[in-house]
Chains A and B, each alone.
Chain A
């Protein structure tokens, strides 16, 4: 396959990018480095600026301020067709008047490559659809069109492959299957993938590194496990999975741990997981990290007493409880149904406990609801 020159390969660097539309700031002073060969996800709700960022990388929009480098080349003002970057569009944007073969060959032909058969057939094999070469796009199912859109982009061996909500139009089952396939294809072809999505599960399944975006800025960047276990902001804690955020105060320290007061009850948590700036914090615990036990049974780790079960939802693999605490807050608890113990009932008086290591702390002046009311289903953002 035809490779672009090595000068335009390497890490992608966005430096202090701002994009405004009139009064509206879509992307605000964003800096980002995407290492060559990685699977990178931009994750965020509708209107967070992730698609705008992607379009600036593709060259479909120009940043108001800032620069974009690919390796050592400044590509900020290059036209889309001058960049060694290809995109898998949200609704695939296949050419309806061309056959599947010609759709895939389009980029190769534009670069003056005469003999395209071998490359096109190879990539059709990769997406397992060689028998559809002579069909038109409208004769294909959504999942097949998705693969062809991918094939049409990767056949060009771009320095960077951009995926704009590529699985958004597929049903849930197909989406899960394609997530695994995409990850496999990325390893197989060894290209840098930049994936834009609002689906946190999708981002976590596929990406090596996730940048969580909110209101035009990056909230936090890291591996999926980092972001989940040690979120730095309430938005990340709530947008990636669910979190219980309990208002509290740092009372002192004990070795590597902080001692925290939560409405009169003392708990311990690791210092390195605190992102607080003063004594006022939100202590965060993921719902599945909690254990529930009836009053009087032995417990270990951090303990919060005085809970009463308000609501029970049995969902097979686990049971979800809403536990009302003495200070009026309902905590969410997920218990695996793996111990043969009958679920607790509504109204049971319970104690909640968890391992101190699973606690994280956010600044006390945050909005504890940030990232919870987001409805991440709107596909046509921005």
Chain B
């Protein structure tokens, strides 16, 4: 093997490494440093010095327990809803769509042609008093005359479900599409009815897609603040909203940094436990 062949893999890694080092590793080290700083005595707003005060973490967490809990509950609800909507959708595209397959896949990603913010604002209209949803539900008697949908937890969860749906659908589609339809036929041939075939063959074989889809939905949803900011109220604040306001409104960099790290750690632990439980390494 020549020297250039030995070097080749490293050369290929170099651009990505340089990019991530500059724009990910350095900022995150910086963020870690910020998280243990304290205000300079007598200094201006936004002036901090390094004092290695790890109590910042405890304070940040205890002050925002409610928002942390809400973030994970909202993200969980949105993930479950998205899974419930995306699985039948991905299944239909993979096995029943025939020639429409590619067209439907384009439709799944079509929302990306419009900005994330615009789509979220649009939900404000849809769920607003002038939209068709609220009057419709009132006419049907499902909600009372005085009930509104905007600025509620419901609105935030719906917004997140909608915004992250493609991230759920695409991995599900990819893993369903890889299943040999003959294995499902074989299951039917071996005395399994439709439901049993789904439980024993289709679902287990699509688990890689379920795991990937739920992670791609849950992780960004837990850290999201746009949906809560646009569709929620002060009572539906998520941890992302707290971090945002600590940074840009209160200019409390250490607390914001500590919250960011706490969120990352929490997600990391949850994801590790989840992957262990789902046992993806067992799957082909």
Binding site for B on A (CB under 8 A): 58-60, 79-81, 85-87, 89-91, 93-97, 106-107, 110-111, 136, 138, 152-153, 156
Contact = CB atoms under 8 A, between A and B. Distances in A.
B187 interface: yes
A93 B182 contact: yes
Nearest to A84: B191
Given A91-B180, A93-B180, A81 B188 contact: yes
B204 A93 contact: no
Interface string B55-89: 00000000000000000000000000000000000
B284 interface: yes
Contacts of B100: none
Contacts of B272: none
A291 B182 CA distance: 50
A79 B190 contact: no
B183 A107 contact: no
B59 to A, nearest CB: 47
Nearest to B186: A93
B146 interface: no
B205 A106 contact: no
Given A87-B186, A89-B186, A138 B191 contact: no
A95 B189 contact: no
Given A96-B284, A97-B283, A106-B187, A81 B193 contact: yes
B196 interface: yes
Contacts of B196: 110
A78 B105 CA distance: 35
Nearest 5 pairs between A and B by C-beta? A107-B190, A93-B182, A110-B191, A93-B186, A80-B188
B193 A79 contact: yes
B211 to A, nearest CB: 14
Given A95-B183, A96-B183, A97-B204, A87 B189 contact: yes
Given A95-B201, A96-B205, A136-B284, A80 B189 contact: yes
B200 to A, nearest CB: 8
Contacts of A80: 185, 188-189
Contacts of B185: 60, 80, 87, 89, 93
Given A93-B180, A136-B284, A86 B189 contact: yes
A111 B191 contact: yes
A156 B191 CA distance: 10
B186 A81 contact: no
Nearest to B183: A93
B190 A97 contact: no
Given A89-B186, A136-B284, 4 more contacts: A86-B190, A107-B190, A111-B191, A138-B284
Contacts of A96: 183, 205, 284
Contacts of B180: 91, 93
A86 B183 CA distance: 13
Nearest to A136: B284
Nearest to A102: B200
B192 interface: yes
Given A89-B182, A95-B201, A79 B188 contact: yes
A103 to B, nearest CB: 9
29 contacts: A58-B189, A59-B188, A60-B185, A60-B188, A79-B188, A80-B185, A80-B188, A80-B189, A81-B192, A86-B190, A87-B185, A87-B186, A89-B182, A90-B182, A91-B182, A93-B180, A94-B183, A95-B205, A96-B183, A96-B205, A97-B204, A97-B205, A106-B187, A106-B200, A110-B190, A110-B191, A136-B284, A152-B186, A153-B189
Interface string B149-162: 00000000000000
Nearest to A55: B185
Nearest to A110: B191
Given A93-B182, A97-B283, A110-B196, A81 B205 contact: no
A81 B190 CA distance: 6
A106 B188 contact: no
Contacts of B187: 95, 106
Contacts of A86: 189-190
A97 B283 CA distance: 6
Contacts of B200: 106
A97 B189 contact: no
Nearest to B179: A96
A258 B196 CA distance: 64
Nearest to B207: A97
Nearest to A152: B190
Contacts of A136: 284
A96 B184 CA distance: 12
